Structure 1
Amino acid sequence: MPVGLEAWFNQVPPVTRAWISLCVVLSLAVQCQLVTPLQLYFSFKAAFSNGQPWRIITTFLYFGPISLDFVFHLFFFMRYSRMLEDSNYAHKRAEYLWLLISSSFMLLLLSPLVTMPFLSSSLAFVPIYLWSRRHPDTQISLFGLVTITAPYLPLALVCFSWLLNGSWRAAAADLMGCAVGHVCWFTRDVWAREMSGANGFWNEAPEGLKRLLGDPL
């Protein structure tokens, strides 16, 4: 890895860096035919009845074959996940990881509604949505063509994904991620602000996870 690229990669916060690395490695493994997508997708029957629990994780790590859509989702996830982790979750690795874990759990429960075998793009939209709601006044130049404010970013990316794929299924997966992101934003920001004692198990990382990642209790 070139020195400049290695230095840049090391500046990416740890949770985002780990997720991006696993996504790239898994896509390369599929590209090299070391594994197949059929071994990675999620279904309740395969994961629980057939004893293949790894599917619970790999469904969030595979963005499909290396293509324009792969680059699109990975780039925007990395950009806004990094910005969210650097700003709102600086020195709170356990809190950010718990956000992704709890979001993943919600997506798994919702997955039968849209029959999506892979939930990576859905999960990628959770930090994008959360960042956009926490920085409502930020101006964003989208592809150098149009300038929008941050709250409109998720919808704009969903529309672009739809055009890129030419299928409503891609938009449905991204919209499901936005819906889960809205729940996370509401429970962590709005509900916690309006209701005293609202930070419970669902919103706050367990102490065991904090100890594991070296975060203050």
Structure 2
Amino acid sequence: MTCQKDPEVVILSKMAYQTLQQQYLQIPPVTRAYTTACVLTTAAVQLEIITPFQLYFNPDLILKNYQVWRLITNFLFFGPVGFNFLFNMIFLYRYCRMLEEGSFRGRTADFVFMFLFGGLLMTIFGMFVSLVFLGQAFTIMLVYVWSRRNPNVRMNFFGLLNFQAPFLPWVLMGFSLLLGNSIIVDLLGIAVGHVYFFLEDVFPNQPGGGRWLKTPSIIKMLFDSPEEEDANYNPLPEDRPGGFAWGEGRRLEG
């Protein structure tokens, strides 16, 4: 006895799949790659294909046993699926995408270089504070950079607090404290985000200042296509933070 599928169901399924595929491919490449890697890593842990012990940051295992993958995997695991994981994924996807489509629009290589610079600095600092997973700190770094580049955006957090964008990382740190989490991770993300923001946005505009952060040519060659390069490009503020009840904002007039 054979079971035949309803042609209409098949057509609707194909249309839904194509729509999801189109939506996924519309996500900018760096945001798509990083968030996908985080979700797949968490799924692999949930399915017990791998364990967190194979992923966490351990300098001894990296240097002595050459387990260099830990330099990357410790940024990909946000803990078991639950509220903390979903919260981090939403903020990671949201602010990473807004940065990539905003001030890093057409500058994929520079965005990748920010990832590398931030990851290196966190890895160095992480050795002194004994952190084994740095993904949450990396998310806070992205939020911090976005918030400092959009100082006039008004935010609303869970409908309870109204504040301007630069306070968002500190509000998230307070929320993390209320949940009983360590704020060391948040402070690390804020510190690294501030270092990047200062070197990239503040110091070059100071008297006698200059650009210390320059994307290496090899990264530009790998990630920037000729269509992306635009000498006249002037980045616009990422003023589209809405879409969720927390962190929703609008730009102030004037």
Aligned equivalents of 1:41, 1:61: Cα separation in 2: 10
**Aligned residue in 2 for 1:206:** 216
Aligned equivalents of 1:184, 1:121: Cα separation in 2: 17
Once the two structures are TM-superposed, the CA of residue 9 in structure 1 deviates from its matched residue by 2.5
Q: Deviations over 1:50-101 (max 9, x none)?
A: 1100000001111111110011111111111111111100011110010010
Aligned equivalents of 1:147, 1:6: Cα separation in 2: 36
Once the two structures are TM-superposed, the CA of residue 193 in structure 1 deviates from its matched residue by 1.2
Does structure 1 residue 93 correspond to structure 2 residue 108?
yes
Q: Deviations over 1:99-148 (max 9, x none)?
A: 01001100011012221100111111111000100100101121222221
Aligned equivalents of 2:77, 2:53: Cα separation in 1: 11
Provide the secondary structure at the position in 1 that maps to 2:155: strand
Match for residue 80 of structure 2 among 65, 81, 100: 65
How many correspondences in the alignment?
A: 212
TM superposition score normalised by structure 1: 0.92
Aligned equivalents of 1:161, 1:64: Cα separation in 2: 15
**Aligned residue in 2 for 1:56:** 71
Alignment of 1:149-164 (within 5 A): 149-164=164-179
TM superposition score normalised by structure 2: 0.79
Aligned equivalents of 1:2, 1:131: Cα separation in 2: 32
**Aligned residue in 1 for 2:250:** none
* C-alpha contact 1:69 1:161 (8 A) present in aligned 2: no
**Could you list the runs of 5+ residues in structure 2 that have no partner in the other structure?**
1-15, 232-254
Distance 1:196 1:207, change over 3 A: farther
Provide the secondary structure at the position in 2 that maps to 1:41: coil
* C-alpha contact 1:121 1:173 (8 A) present in aligned 2: yes
> Which letter does structure 1 place at the counterpart of 2:202?
V
* C-alpha contact 2:38 2:77 (8 A) present in aligned 1: yes
Match for residue 173 of structure 1 among 185, 207, 210: 185
* C-alpha contact 1:81 1:127 (8 A) present in aligned 2: yes
Larger Rg: 2
* C-alpha contact 2:107 2:224 (8 A) present in aligned 1: no
| Aligned Cα root-mean-square deviation (Å) | 1.6
**Aligned residue in 2 for 1:184:** 196
Where has structure 1 moved over 6 Å in runs of 4 or more? none
Alignment of 1:122-161 (within 5 A): 122-161=137-176
Once the two structures are TM-superposed, the CA of residue 196 in structure 1 deviates from its matched residue by 5.5
Which structure has more helix as a fraction of its residues? 1
> Which letter does structure 2 place at the counterpart of 1:109?
I
Alignment of 1:91-130 (within 5 A): 91-130=106-145
